[in-house]
Amino acid sequence: MTLVHDPEVLAAMLAAPPPPDPTPPPVGDIATRRRNATANFDMIGAAYPAVAGVTVERDVLVTADGAELALLWYQPDVTESAGGAALYLHGGGMILDLEHTGRGYDAVVRSDVAHSKVPMLMVDYRAAPEHPHPTPAEDCYAALGWLAERAGQLGVDPARLAVVGDSAGGALAAAVALMARDRGCPSLALQLLVYPMLDDRTTVPDPQIPVEGMVWTYDDNRTGWGALLGDRAGGPDVPSYAAPARETDLSGLPPTYLDTGDLDIFRAEIVGHAARLAAAGVATELHVYPGCPHGFEMLAPAAAVSRHAVDNRVRRLQALRDDATAE
């Protein structure tokens, strides 16, 4: 039986303007995907509910190989006491940076900070194919180190740090959590993974998911993983810091929140990852939202299911402010 779209989400998708290049691009066509994505994220940024009470400071992260990456520190105007903070890793299929997605993610992160009262750091990590694995993951881990090292001067409790990410950013957040565990620092209180892109082997179409209205397609997925991994994509030697679904030992990771729509091609890999986390003794919360494709809450922020999903994420973020851990 084929699944169907949530009516409110579908109505918002149908009302959106067509992309600059409406013909689906072939596998490997990154230029067209970047043009279309830029228009889409500009639209998201313009349409996302406006919020007040958040200030943004800019800084620069100098990486070990000498690159200078933009950092954006989002902070609520009113803070009660030193609480936690999160590193937010934006999505973009492994091939988009903030040049393409920035207007949309500025709106999303402002909203998350305004509603949770938890400050967030966003880094403009380098994207593939110009910068294949391990550069994006190492950039993100370096940004987490920057946040941990400056926790005191930022008014942040270093025992209440989280990594947050959606889509490709969710994969990078999961990778950073693995890196922090394996390298022994910094300690994390939460990984919050929003429809994360975890597995390079997701290439066979799910017959339950309708092709019509598919926001992130299997051709897109092959393109993104191919850009990141080259010929290794789908093969036997893909490292788990690139594709976290490849990790065989999930013990010792922080409490984890995951969500996905049931019309997302990542659904099976996310549900499977959540089950393996729970089996490894990790406190795990999973939500699967009926009728929702990839990126549903950005495309239809006013839909009831979108508001519910965002409220659940904010609830977990607020634990960073209120408690010693996010369990």
Q: Is 240 annotated in the active site?
A: no
Cα(288)–Cα(309) distance, integer angstroms: 10
Instruction: Reply yes or no on whether the pLDDT at 207 is more than 80.
Output: yes
Q: What is the pLDDT of residues 133-178, one digit of tens each?
A: 999 999 999 999 999 999 999 999 999 999 999 999 999 999 999 9
CA 206, 289, 234, 245 torsion-angle sign: negative
CA distances from 29 to 95, 184, 233, 321 (A): 11, 39, 16, 43
Q: One of 262, 264, 273, 306 is an active-site residue; which one?
A: 264
Residue 246 contacts residue 181 (beta carbons within 8 Å): no
Residue with tokens 């976290």: 244
264 part of the active site: yes
- How would residue 323 be classed by pLDDT, with cut points 50, 70 and 90? low
pLDDT, tens digit, 9 for 90 and up, residues 179-193: 999 999 999 999 999
Candidates 167, 200, 259, 273; catalytic one: 167
State residue 321's pLDDT score.
Answer: 87
Residue with tokens 């979108």: 306
Q: Is 187 a catalytic residue?
A: no
257: nearest Cα among 275, 281, 280, 274: 274
Q: Which CATH superfamily is domain 7-20+27-322 in?
A: Alpha/Beta hydrolase fold, catalytic domain (3.40.50.1820)
Q: How far apart are CA 71 and CA 57, in angstroms?
A: 8
Active-site choice (116, 139, 294, 306) = 294
Partners of 244 in beta bridges: none
Of 91, 90, 92, 110, give the one whose Cα is nearest residue 48.
110
Q: Is the pTM for the entire model greater than 0.95?
A: yes
Say how far apart CA 258 and CA 288 lie, in whole Å. Answer: 9
**263: burial class by Cβ within 10 Å (0-12, 13-18, 19+)?**
buried
List, for residues 41-95, the tens digit of each pLDDT value.
999 999 999 999 999 999 999 999 999 999 999 999 976 667 999 999 999 999 9
d(CA 41, CA 20): 13
